[in-house]
């Protein structure tokens, strides 16, 4: 059910429309309400600028078949869920994920960047103007991504999406007290992105208590209204 969003609005009032809409994806073992509570300080910091949208989803996005070289069982369903969400409740300017949700946010960014690169490399890309082609449609299209305690997909089926640098502006949030392997995975994920920004905090596997660094990154994504995906449709609504 894509209706009845649990929406954490960072807005001054119900009459104020935010400049940015950010899709927020929960971690393994979380649900919409726990993620909304986790992000409440960030929502307050972005008041009047951004709307943090937490979809009503409570199950793991997928389950790994094993520890080493896993298959992500249920990942295809997760991607289709995001695609339907974007079609019915988008557009979204950015995506923010925590833990498994950060992996999903990174995978969505990788798919988007890979699709754009494949299209640009095609011999017939110039035919687009004549209406013969349309760009590949990834499940979600965003301008930026925030990955908190994230990691790249370890499913072999996704390797191709990470073979090129992911050209989506990104912030990677890493806790210095997080488990060493998870810190290493987060750093490895950041290296997959072009010009990735990395924010270290003193906590563990969590969103930092001090959200100013995340808020500052998101605030820098505010651009002219005509450059924001979906801005015209929001202005007309």
**Higher-pLDDT residue of 5, 194:** 194
Grade residue 69 by pLDDT with cuts at 50, 70 and 90.
confident
Report, as an integer, the average pLDDT of 197-221: 96
pLDDT, tens only, 73-130: 999 999 999 999 999 999 999 999 999 999 999 999 999 999 888 766 654 444 433 4
Known catalytic membership, residue 205? yes
Q: List CB contacts of 115: < 8 A, sequence separation 6 or more.
A: 135, 136, 137, 138
Helix ranges restricted to H, 12-157: 32-38, 40-45, 75-89, 100-121
Q: How far apart are alpha carbons 55 and 9 in whole angstroms?
A: 13
Dihedral of alpha carbons 162, 150, 5, 77, sign = positive
Give Cα 154 to chain centroid, integer Å. 17
pLDDT, tens only, 131-180: 434 446 899 999 999 999 999 999 999 999 999 999 999 999 999 999 99
Grade residue 38 by pLDDT with cuts at 50, 70 and 90.
very high
Known catalytic membership, residue 132? no
Percent of the chain with pLDDT over 90: 73
Among 26, 57, 93, 99, the active-site one is 99
Among 26, 93, 178, 201, the active-site one is 178
pLDDT at 27 over 80: yes
Task: State the pLDDT at residue 101.
Answer: 97
Q: Quote the pTM value.
A: 0.83
Known catalytic membership, residue 178? yes
Three-state SS annotation for 28-69 = CCCCHHHHHHHCHHHHHHCCCCEEEEECCCCCCCCEECCCCC
Minimal CA–CA distance to 51: which of 27, 73, 76, 20?
Answer: 20
Task: State the pLDDT at residue 206.
Answer: 94
Among 34, 116, 205, 206, the active-site one is 205
pLDDT at 225 over 90: no
């Amino acid at each position: 059910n894509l209706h009845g969003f649990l929406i954490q609005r960072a807005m001054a009032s119900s009459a104020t429309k935010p400049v940015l809409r950010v899709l927020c994806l929960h971690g393994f073992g979380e649900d919409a309400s726990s993620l909304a509570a986790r992000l409440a300080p960030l929502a307050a910091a972005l008041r009047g600028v951004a709307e943090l949208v937490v979809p009503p989803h409570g199950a793991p996005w997928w389950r790994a078949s094993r520890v080493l070289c896993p298959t992500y069982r249920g990942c295809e369903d997760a991607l289709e869920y995001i695609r339907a969400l974007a079609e019915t409740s988008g557009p979204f300017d950015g995506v923010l994920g925590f833990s498994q949700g950060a992996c999903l946010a990174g995978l969505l960014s990788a798919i988007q960047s890979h699709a754009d690169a494949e299209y640009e490399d095609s011999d017939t890309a110039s035919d687009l103007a004549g209406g013969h082609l349309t760009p590949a449609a990834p499940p979600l299209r965003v301008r930026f991504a925030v990955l908190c305690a994230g990691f790249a997909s370890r499913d072999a089926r996704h390797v191709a999406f990470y073979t090129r640098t992911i050209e989506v502006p990104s912030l990677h949030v890493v806790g210095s007290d997080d488990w060493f392997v998870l810190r290493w995975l987060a750093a490895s994920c950041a290296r997959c992105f072009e010009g990735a920004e990395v924010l270290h905090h003193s906590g563990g596997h969590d969103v930092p208590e001090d959200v100013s660094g995340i808020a500052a990154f998101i605030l820098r994504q505010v651009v002219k209204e005509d450059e924001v995906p979906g801005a015209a449709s929001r202005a007309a609504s």
